[in-house]
Structure 1
């Protein structure tokens, strides 16, 4: 079948002419349109005052722009994730060969699908109590170790580290995760639970504070932090957690479950530690104030002591009256002792007159009767006490048996849960080991292929030979070979010895050996073949 003849009469367009024609066609066919869709990628007005974003639905997306003057006159401002009805003019942008709508008016049409899903999930988790203020923990005043869950390659981790270095350097453990896309939510949740699973005093220190951080982005970019698995992991964290996802205007569900929300990752670093220089200044000021207060207090006590010392009388004046009383008491003591002795003698004489043998027998019998009664009461009391103790011990024995049975049951359940967890961890370790072995085997295979590709033996397999002298050193030029020199020629399938000709100082063409000569008698063709060049 003959090739089609070129259309020589077809008009030729420049790219600018074609773009202008398409622009006029689109604008004439769609002067003003009303489009319903969800706002995506809105980040507020540009530095020029214009707004750039996109309108999308389930299967398509169209770029949109609002000029600065139109945006300032709008009653309803565009917001990320809202479903709106936009009125404007359809046109093209020749700079990138795309069509767009220049919006002149905008009105709300309902909350977008993602925003509706987010609100529904927020209500569900709030009903479970995950956002209650009673669950919030206080942040440590000066944590020793700070755990950061973020991407290791972004600017967020550098901002956090620089801010911590400026304020109060602390030890930082970074758990690298994906912060966007498929699998990112599972990685963030696993990082939070992994930090909480670290043992106290282990080889890897357990953080005193966690920071979950990510830079700004659209609602779709930040959607991983609205996933239920991430929110539950943040709510279950026993380590105080700061959420620093997005910019100040970005709101995610992890912000409600975290113990503290930071508007930016840099603000999270500021919340985590105080300013070291300010602490030094404050401690110095407090020390100075303490010393001044102590000095003023000491000076006041010294002045009070001096005033009290001046007001006190002399020691002689204080002891004059007590001395006189002591002298009077000393003079009256002998007479008082004699009178006291006579009084006690009269009392003892009167008492001895009343004591007879009959009275003593009556008192002894009365005492024996009281002793018998008290002995019976003591015996009855001991029996009742033993009986009550026996009943109490029997009750305690029953309670102990029941408690032991319940404790054994609880321990068995704990052992079963630990065994199940150990099995899950063993399975994860096995899968990780298999994956690591496969990765290392692939690297070894790749290295073997690379070694085979770079080896000089592959060059020998293409018909070249390697020439070595008697010491085994490679020969690079014919000038290095003397007359009668012994040479080793290495081919792809083995080695051959040869001797250099003495009458060949500068041969330009190889001499083909006779068919009957052995391989060892053909050094000219192997030592310096024409056009072959040096292998080294």
Structure 2
């Protein structure tokens, strides 16, 4: 026994293992004891190689454990790992013999309580805000009256019924519904695809592109609304070319899509109210504007008519304007006949005087001399030159006559236009036109009555209307052989 105790090589009878055998034994032991574990910790280093797997560290204040998420699992995760996020990882422990270390193969990962969710939300919010996605200048104005409204929501919930009912009450519009899951793992990708799908529609196509989008969901817990806090949904809403209204949750609920949308509505019903105006209010406004326009036109026309009547009183009477011209015409026409007779008599005397000095011998001598001179001149004439000169002069005369004809026609047309304008002015300024508008001329004999006192003093009055005269207080008299025409001017009542 003492020999065994003093043996310098204790455990010499223990079995020997190779490195691989020992690593395999450790692997089996760990996987057998920890086949399913849930580990709570803070995510440290996160690595995403091209293979699609995710490598990370889970740590607390005293220890660190390595973790791996295989590619197929990583694509199904509802919460993607982010550095600094406190999570609860579910998986199994295993070893990695190549580096003599143990690690957890993560099958699911979830934020560790409300604080972790809020911390992750705040981190995403700061990142998106730093990129300028919340800036006010990026917000697009909502169309005043959209023709087509696209709604991204669940087709079976009360939200879509509230929106359709409110739109029908305010101003019925065409509505396209893109059904999506509004909570759970499918929520974020389906909402993202719906926003992008509406933006890919062709304006005026078989399926019209909406003029406005509404992303809506009813109230719920932060876990239920978490799909609208995903970065993919926020970026899709920010990149939308179509103006977008977010109506997720109740008035007190706030998600990332509310910050990047062009307008946030506290409820889905409020989103419908933001989308369209009230039809009856628009009709009432149009009726009010029409009444204002009618009153303005009527008032303007009345004022201009009164102004025209005021100005017409300052104009001279038409008879006065033509009196001088009429007198000159009468004077000239009276002198025309005697002047013509005197001129004809003078020409006749002159002709007698000239013919008395003519003698046949003188005429013969003049005729012979004229023939001689004509012969001398005709011998020097060339018919071809005369013909060409005649043709040239004829062409020049034709051009002059054409110009004269054009100028004459233009002048006659101008005179005709001016004369027509003067005639219209005479008619419009004449008191007969005023009588057609309901006015009348009051006379007492040949005197025009312009005041009340003069009318009271008059024994008989004659009122001239548009279609004739009416006498008041006149004594019956015998009809005259030739009625005296009424004067051209009178006082308007």
TM over 0.5: no
Q: TM-score, normalised by structure 2?
A: 0.42
